[in-house]
């Protein structure tokens, strides 16, 4: 979300700098709410409370990205092992074939 977008959606709170927006970005990504709903939360709770906990949300965002990467790695590794097994089976069929 752009700074201008957020400023237009907020009713009570005020995001004035790009730095504030960057601190709110991990929270926005993790909560995965609609822009309007997210801005309503900021208005209801207050921007200071969100920014005070920005480091914690950043850590959660980083942990989420690391977990996603690890899950993709495990899935890809299992798929690769399956492909290698299938390749060995196919090579065995090819090598066992003897033309008449």
Domain count, the chain: 1
Q: Does pTM top 0.95 for this prediction?
A: no
Is 37 a member of any domain? yes
Q: What is the pLDDT of residues 71-97, one digit of tens each?
A: 999 999 999 999 999 999 999 999 999
Distance, CA of 60 to CA of 26 (rounded, Å): 8
d(CA 88, CA 84): 6
For 34-83, what is each residue's pLDDT tens digit?
Answer: 999 999 999 998 888 888 888 898 899 899 999 999 999 999 999 999 99
Comparing C-alpha atoms, which of 31, 30, 38 is closest to residue 61? 30
* 12: number of Cβ within 10 Å: 11
Domain that holds residue 65: 3-71
Q: Is residue 94 part of a domain?
A: no
92 within some domain: no
């Amino acid at each position: 979300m752009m700074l201008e977008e957020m400023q237009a959606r907020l009713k009570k709170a005020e995001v004035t700098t790009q730095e504030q927006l960057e601190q709110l970005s991990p929270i926005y990504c993790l909560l995965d709410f609609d822009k309007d709903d997210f801005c309503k939360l900021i208005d209801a709770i207050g921007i200071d409370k969100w920014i005070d906990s920005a480091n914690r949300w950043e850590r959660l965002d980083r942990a989420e990205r690391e977990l996603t990467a690890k899950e993709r790695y495990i899935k890809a590794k299992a798929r690769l092992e399956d492909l290698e097994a299938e390749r060995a089976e196919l090579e065995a069929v090819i090598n066992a074939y003897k033309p008449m």
